[in-house]
Amino acid sequence: MQGNDAVCSRLCPGRGTLTPMNEATTTSDRWICDACGWIYDPAEGDPDGGIPAGTPFEEIPETWFCPVCGATKEDFSPYEG
Ligand SMILES: [Zn+2]
């Protein structure tokens, strides 16, 4: 009923120190289209192409193609950025 906040402030020293959430996205596996340079970012997906955000490149259907130039998955290479 009382004193919980005091206990927590001692046991949870990290309280109030928010860890940036974008760390996960910077380590995501992006792929670049060899034909046009368009970059697939799994954090964004390709909603226009039916690929929901958060979809790893490996899980994209083989029928998918680059939204810019129409290249297939085989024309993409891992992007080191
Ligand atoms: Zn392309």
Residue 45 Cα to ligand 1 midpoint, Å, equals 15
Question: Separation of 24 CA from ligand 1 center, angstroms?
Answer: 25
**From ligand 1's centre to the CA of 29, what distance in Å?**
17
The pTM is what?
Answer: 0.65
Greatest C-alpha distance within the chain = 64
Read out DSSP for 39-58?
Answer: EE-TTT-BGGGTB-TT--GG
Task: Say how many Å lie between the CA of residue 36 and the centre of ligand 1.
Answer: 4
- What share of the chain has pLDDT > 90, as a percent? 63
Phi, psi of 8 (to 5 degrees): -65, -40
pLDDT in tens, 14-73: 555 554 554 444 456 999 999 999 999 999 999 999 999 999 999 999 999 999 999 999
CA of 73 to the centre of ligand 1 (A): 10
Q: Which class for 24: exposed (0-12), middle (13-18), buried (19 or more C-beta within 10 A)? A: exposed
Ligand 1 center from residue 59 Cα (angstroms):
18
Residue pointed to by tokens 């024309």? 75
Q: Rounded mean pLDDT of the chain?
A: 82
Please report the domains of the chain, with CATH numbers, ordered by start residue.
28-81 (2.20.28.10)
